[in-house]
Structure formats: structure tokens, C-alpha cells
Structure 1
Amino acid sequence: MFLSLRLSSQFISINRQTLNNSPFLMNLIPFPRNCSILPRRCPRNHSFCTKSLVQSHQDTFPLSGLEDALMGYITGKKKATELAHLIWQHIVQKGDNVVDATCGNGYDTLALLKMVADESGKGCVYGMDIQSCALENTSSLLDESLNANERELVELFHLCHSRMEDVIPEGIFLRLVVFNLGYLPGGDKAIITVPEKTSQALESACRLMGPGGLISIMVYVGHPGGREEYETIQSFASGLPSESWVCCKFEMLNRPLAPVLVLLFKK
């Protein structure tokens, strides 16, 4: 199995010594509303955490967990989605504001809520999907999995991900925006995310992102239109200024249909 790790515009090789060196991973990571299916509420007093990422890593998440996830991905024992979730945990802090731009069946939405929820009620997950059945699936999963207080921290919107700025209250900065592109698992495979709308969504995410935040994009290339969307995302990421953004990707070179994880980190 071969792993391509692209950081900004250069390819780098990974060896055992590098993987055992924690600073490598630290460098890798630094790398409105108008339509809702839920009752609209006045914006809460959300605040973007200013605690440094380095300090939060040391205080909250053991870095060894991320190292294990990376080794698992390299050796084919962990999926790209599992690696993505571990990376999110190293970025997100309790009380943060995050976006699930493509809710699907709600599993990412639920995982994000568990990362941001705290007793103060400041954290919030804004979930979006263009398909009503996806939001119904997400809402059902959340209702089954969360208590009433946690459920209040998730807001779902029946909107295309390109309209992200329509749902985020003014003055709110995001810590994390996640995309799981392609079609709804178990749904109509003819309904897919498309390059033009995804590009617009990425532009919105960049404008809404606070310093130390991350845009995580899981790109599926095995369906018609998937490869074109992937190329659009690569072009978008390559055009971000290196002074303020670090962009990388995880891609299996000898598995051309495997999903690709693209990460855009705002300094």
C-alpha cells in the first residue's frame, strides 16, 4: 500500500522515525438564517475559543491516539473516516462552533456534537443537507442518541452546503467545517454534490473560519462526477495563500477508487 501525503505544493515521504516524532503531526495539523426544518432561535452567546492548539493538545488529547490512527491508515487497518474523526478531536474544543455541511445519515453530526457539547451550553453544531430524507435520518439519530440539553446544541437546515453563510449568525467564527461529499449512503445515487456548489461552500467556509480552525473534506471519486469534484477541490486548495493556510491530503495511490481526505488548516 502506498500513501501520498501532499503538504501545500510539495510531496514528502513518511518513515517510521518521522511517525514516532510527535512534532511531525503537530505540523501536519497546523497544516444570516432563512430556512430551517427546526424552530429558529435567537443566536446564543457563542464564542470562539482562543486557547492555543498546542496547549489544548497537551491538556486534552493524547497525541499518541493520532499517531496510532495514522499508522492504522498507512497499514490499511483504519479507514480515512476514522483518521478524520481523530484529527477533528485534536482541533475541536468544548464550546466551539462547528458545521456539518453534508449531514447525510447523521453520524458525523453526532460525533461533532459529542466533541463540542459542554455544561455551559455554548457549543453548537450547524448541520446542513439538501435532501429532506437526510435531515430526517439525522434528526432521528440525534433524538435517539442525545439527551434534551445536548439536542438543543444541534441546529439542522434544509439547505445546500453552498448557502452556509445563510445559517451562521453574524460574528460567529467556526473551529471546524466538515464535508462528506458524493451521494447519500442508501439514498438516490443520482443526487450528488457538484463541483460548482462545493467550491462556493469552500469559499464560505474559508470566510467563516477562525484562526486555528480546520476544513475537512472527504472526497469520493468512484461515482460519476466524483473525480471532477476532487479536481475542483485540489485546484481550490492549491490556490489558498500559504501565508495563512496549510493544505494537505491523504490519498491511496494504488487504490484509485478509495476516498481522499483533504485538510485545509487556517493559521
Structure 2
Amino acid sequence: MATKISISFRTGKSTLFNAVAFFKLWSPSSNVTFPPPATMITNGHRSVCTKQIQQSQISVSNQSAFNISVPGFPVDSPLSGLEDVMIGYILGKTKATEVAHLAWKYIVQEGDTVVDATCGNGHDTLALVKLVTADKTQRGRVYSLDVQKFALEKTLALLDESLDKDEKEIVKLVETCHSKMHEVVPKGEPVRVVAFNLGYLPGGDKALITGPKTTLMALESAKDLLTHGGLISVVGYVGHPGGREEFETVLEFGSRLPVDEWSCCELRMLNRPLAPVLVFMFKR
């Protein structure tokens, strides 16, 4: 049974080549290839091409959206285990945050340093702790930030009920804006993942939201802190006042990153315009 994934790339002049980079990132051993430049029809920043490759169908629409139908990933592929989550997302049964958590799984290694830039209720922080302490033999570090004290209290309560003493010791909770993460992470400490869950705190004051200016500053800090082979992960929301402007700032930031150093993609539900949107920015 084929798995059908819809991914929207915003990569400036080389949409197709960045699709190759992204696919190879997730599945380096994959035999999937793309047509040479001569078979492409290009109009500005948009490309149109269709090619049948073995059992896989890859198409690029004039909206730069990739529809990839894959007969199934090999057991030894880094993508193994992704199918159920992606199918759940496509069917509207899996949350965007769950897709993000699975992406981190293929990036984070035991002992890594990671940052939850907007800890909220603590679920992202908890997921990151489990990844950096997966084999219990290496101690990573999780920096968990939020501008609201209430959010840090919620996160601490979740960690208290979910982690043992040793696991909790690797978490540093900091009451500060995500734009100041460079003041929290020690200079020279390589960061593997910086996770953003934007908008307002669920169950909190909806008037207190992340905004375009501070989020752009935070993304710039994340870019500088991230080690090669690291990931900036963003879950954005456009349904609240100011959300769309903030998310456009995220897209603009990702679109400007140089293609030879970064692979960036956007994942969204096309017929649910207010649904959360995922953006991944991988540093080569």
C-alpha cells in the first residue's frame, strides 16, 4: 500500500533540487531520483514537472507542492516508523506536534543539547528530554524557555510526574523571551534542535502571544546556535490575530537561508487554512 505525502517547499530558485536534498536527508539510501533540469518547465520561482520512477510518483504542481507516493520505506531506512504518523496527519488524526516530535527523533542523539524555545505546557520539553537521554548512559541538556511564569510552572509539573530525578536534572527552565536564547545557552555549546511552538499558551491568556519581531530574533539566534546536522522546528498558527503575520515572517526567514547550507520545507493541510503549519529547517 502506497504512502502519500504532501510537502510544500519554499526554497527560492531551486525548488526541485531542494526536494532532492530533503528526500535524501530523510532517506539517504533511497533509490528515488528526480528528472534532470532539461525536463523542467520553470516560471520564476515555480517549477512544473512530472516523472514516473519505478513504483514512485513524484509531481510538482504550480504551487510548489510535492505529492510523493512511496510503496513503503525499507526497514533499515531512517524513515522507518514515519508512515503511520504521516498517514495519521494526512487523514487528520495526527497532530502537527506529533509529526514534529517524530522528526526530532531522527535528528537528536543521546547526549545532545537542545532548546525548547517556547515550552508552553511542557510537552515538547518532555519529548526532547526523552530523546537526549534515550539510552540512560549519556547526559544531554535541555534548555526550556518561556516568557510566562505560568508556562514554566505547567512544564515543571509535567516533568515532575513524568521523569525521574536524573532526567529532570538535565532540564534548565528559564523565564525569558525566546528571542534571548543566545543569553541562555553557553557560548560555544553546539545545539542539535531548536523547537518553536508559536502562538499563545493553551489554557492561558490568549492575549499573550509570540510575535513577528521577537520570533525573527529567536530564529536568528537559533540559526547561529545550531550545529551542522541540526534542525530548527517550527509549529506555527495562523488562526489568531497576529498569527499569520508571524508565520509569514518564519517563511520569509526560511526562504532566505542559502540552499547549499540549509534544506527547508513547509508541511500544511491545504483544505484547512487555519490548521497548524510545520516548518523544518535542516542545517547541513
What TM bracket, shorter-length normalisation? 0.7 to 0.9
Match of 1:65 in 2: 81
Match of 1:14 in 2: 67
Q: Tell me the distance in 2 between the aligned counterparts of 1:211 and 1:67.
A: 26
- Alpha-carbon offset, residue 3 of structure 1: 4.1
- Alpha-carbon offset, residue 67 of structure 1: 2.5
Matched residue SS, 2:205: coil
1:80 maps onto 2:100 in alignment = no
Matched residue SS, 1:213: strand
Counterpart of 1:134, as a letter, is A
Which residue of the other structure, out of 225, 236, 240, is the alignment partner of 1:208? 225
Larger radius of gyration: 2
Counterpart of 1:83, as a letter, is V
Counterpart of 2:106, as a letter, is H
Match of 2:159 in 1: 142
Q: Tell me the distance in 2 between the aligned counterparts of 1:89 and 1:99.
A: 14
Q: Tell me the distance in 2 between the aligned counterparts of 1:181 and 1:113.
A: 20
- Alpha-carbon offset, residue 195 of structure 1: 0.3
Counterpart of 1:84, as a letter, is A
Match of 1:133 in 2: 150
Higher relative CO (CA 8 A, sep ≥ 6), structure 1 or 2?
Answer: 1
Match of 2:267 in 1: 250
- The C-alpha deviation readout for 1:179-212, integer Å capped at 9, x for no partner, is 0000000000000000000000000000000010
More displaced stretch, 204-213 vs 119-128: 119-128
Structure showing the higher strand proportion among its residues: 2
Counterpart of 2:191, as a letter, is L
More displaced stretch, 80-89 vs 220-229: 80-89
1:195 maps onto 2:212 in alignment = yes
Q: Tell me the distance in 2 between the aligned counterparts of 1:84 and 1:20.
A: 20
Matched residue SS, 2:105: helix
Answer whether contact 1:245 1:266 (CA < 8 A) is retained: yes
Matched residue SS, 1:64: coil
Q: Tell me the distance in 1 between the aligned counterparts of 2:150 and 2:173.
A: 12
Name the Cα RMSD after superposition: 2.0
Q: Tell me the distance in 2 between the aligned counterparts of 1:121 and 1:150.
A: 11
> Number of aligned pairs?
230
TM-score (norm 1): 0.81
Which residue of the other structure, out of 175, 191, 202, is the alignment partner of 1:174? 191
Matched residue SS, 1:172: coil
Matched residue SS, 2:67: coil
CA 21–121 in structure 1, closer or farther in 2 if over 3 Å, else same: closer
Counterpart of 2:66, as a letter, is S
Match of 2:8 in 1: 5
Structure showing the higher helix proportion among its residues: 1
Matched residue SS, 1:177: strand
Match of 2:241 in 1: 224
Matched residue SS, 1:189: coil
Answer whether contact 2:113 2:140 (CA < 8 A) is retained: yes
Matched residue SS, 1:137: helix
Aligned positions of 1:159-170 closer than 5 A: 159-170=176-187
Q: Using the aligned pairs only, state the percent identity.
A: 56
Counterpart of 1:114, as a letter, is K
- Alpha-carbon offset, residue 20 of structure 1: 3.0
- The C-alpha deviation readout for 1:108-155, integer Å capped at 9, x for no partner, is 101110010153452010000000000011111111211111110100
Counterpart of 1:265, as a letter, is F
Q: Tell me the distance in 1 between the aligned counterparts of 2:114 and 2:247.
A: 23
